[in-house]
Amino acid sequence: MARKSTYRVKLRRRREGKTDYHARKAMVVSERPRLVPRFSAKNVSVQIIISKLSGDIVLASAHSRELKKKYGWKAPTGNIPAAYLTGLICGFKARNNAVDNAILDIGLINPTKGSKIFAALSGVVDAGVIVPHDENKIIKERIEGKHIVKYGHVLEADSEGYSAKFSKYLEQKISPKDLSEHFAKVKSTIITSYTKGDKQT
């Protein structure tokens, strides 16, 4: 326990591991839009936000639930391919709102190579938004779900383990071995919906 008279309790969101105020200050001072991907076990949220004196303003936002509601996505909405597709939607919405660049705000999340953060980032970039990043952090095979396809083939001989691990896929009547093809189809649907002249927001 701290005993010095100069000890100061950290701000609540820093104690909760939610906000790095030092990094946030630098991004706010830059006056550039921030790309903010956030994740739960089941869903992905991607926003592009700009900070004003009055508070944060959301310029574009996408949630992985949109994949099921609008684009026929049958796989879980919290995995890496879903993160990419959600980022792609957010990127197109940003372009429709005249946002063409942003800086990545990962908060206190560990920037692991090939993670959901960089899948979402890749989607936003592929939609045409410029976001400075290290290409080595992006693994295209994981974005396309090839690691899930490979795991599906490995577990195929173990029917009990296969059913347990891929219950969400089987509920939606999609084989994990077909995920890469399904991903490509949904990606194409998203791109078509935003490039045929529609101004979706």
Residue 54 has a pLDDT of: 78
In the prediction, which pLDDT does 126 show?
98
Which residue carries 């004196």 as its tokens?
53
107-116, pLDDT tens digit by residue? 777 889 999 9
Is residue 111 within 8 Å of 34, Cβ to Cβ?
A: no
pLDDT digits (tens, 9 = 90+) for 91-126: 999 999 999 999 999 877 788 999 999 999 999 999
- Evaluated on CA atoms 158, 147, 117, 184, the torsion sign reads negative
Q: Which architecture characterizes domain 18-195 according to CATH?
A: 2-Layer Sandwich (3.30)
**pTM score:** 0.86
Q: What is the pLDDT of residue 6?
A: 74
Sheet holding 103-104: strands in order across?
A: 55-63, 44-52, 34-39, 103-104
CA dihedral 76, 19, 106, 95 (to 10 degrees): 90
Residues of the chain with pLDDT under 70: 1-5, 7-30, 197-201
pLDDT of residue 159: 81
For the chain, the C-alpha Rg in angstroms (whole number) is 19
